[in-house]
Amino acid sequence: MSARYVVVRTIERADRSSVDALGALGTATVHEAIGRRGFAGPQLRPIQQGTRLAGTAVTVSSHPGDNLMIHAAVEVCQEGDLLVVTSTAPSTHGVFGELLASSLMARGVRALVTDAGVRDTAELREMGFAVWSQYVSCQGTVKASPGSVNVPVVLGGVVVSPGDVVCADDDGVVVVARDEAAWALERSRERAAKEDGTRGRLAAGELGVDIYGLRATVEALGVEYVG
């Protein structure tokens, strides 16, 4: 009989070079490049501004209002990881703050993403620890309920498996499956190069309706130019 709750110590992670490159390209580019998939929703917002990164997912499934399993997860985190904390039911509690951030930073964890709340936001910004959360709340938690670490979880309707790539910046959070990382990077680089060319044409005065061939679409929809 398998255990109901587990802490999986060893996981396979996406290639670090692909992770770093995807993080640098940004969530909007990656999301579009992989077929408009992986966006974990507009409800996940950064507590800081101007931070763009990606990390390999260490996942936590926790009970609402309880951060016991976040403490348990710290031990299995490695440099370059990003901790993804989900609740089994809606939770507005501040499950994470500066003390846990100090523990994660000591292990080289890059950031935290959670569908619950965080606290100590001023201290977290001062420390330089990046966080994306659904709520900001001073409401505390208990440490009394079992959960699991490094199991598949659902974040904003997106399945996150241990070792997946999680990209995050001011535009939100995008998840790339571990086995799609290299493919996603290739597609994202192609899209970025194409946008560079388009940006130059727009800056030179060309119109988007011409570059994208949209005049025929506008006319087909019955829109008339007058005046």
pLDDT values of the chain reduced to their tens digit, one per residue, 227 residues: 467 999 999 999 999 999 999 999 999 999 999 999 999 999 999 999 999 999 999 999 999 999 999 999 999 999 999 999 999 999 999 999 999 999 999 999 999 999 999 999 999 999 999 999 999 999 999 999 999 999 999 999 999 999 999 999 999 999 999 999 999 999 999 999 999 999 999 999 999 999 999 999 999 999 999 98
The Cα diameter of the chain in Å comes to 76
The model's pTM is 0.93
Q: How would DSSP label each residue in 194-215?
A: HHHHHHHHHHTT--HHHHTT-H
**Burial level of 157, CB count in 10 A (0-12/13-18/19+)?**
exposed
Query: Does residue 152 contact residue 2 with C-beta atoms inside 8 Å?
Result: no
| pLDDT the model gives residue 116 | 98
Q: Please list, in sequence order, all residues whose beta carbon lies within 8 angstroms of the beta carbon of residue 140, skipping any fewer than 6 positions away.
A: 93, 94, 119
What's the CA gap between 10 and 191, in Å, rounded?
34
| pLDDT the model gives residue 2 | 62
| pLDDT the model gives residue 3 | 72
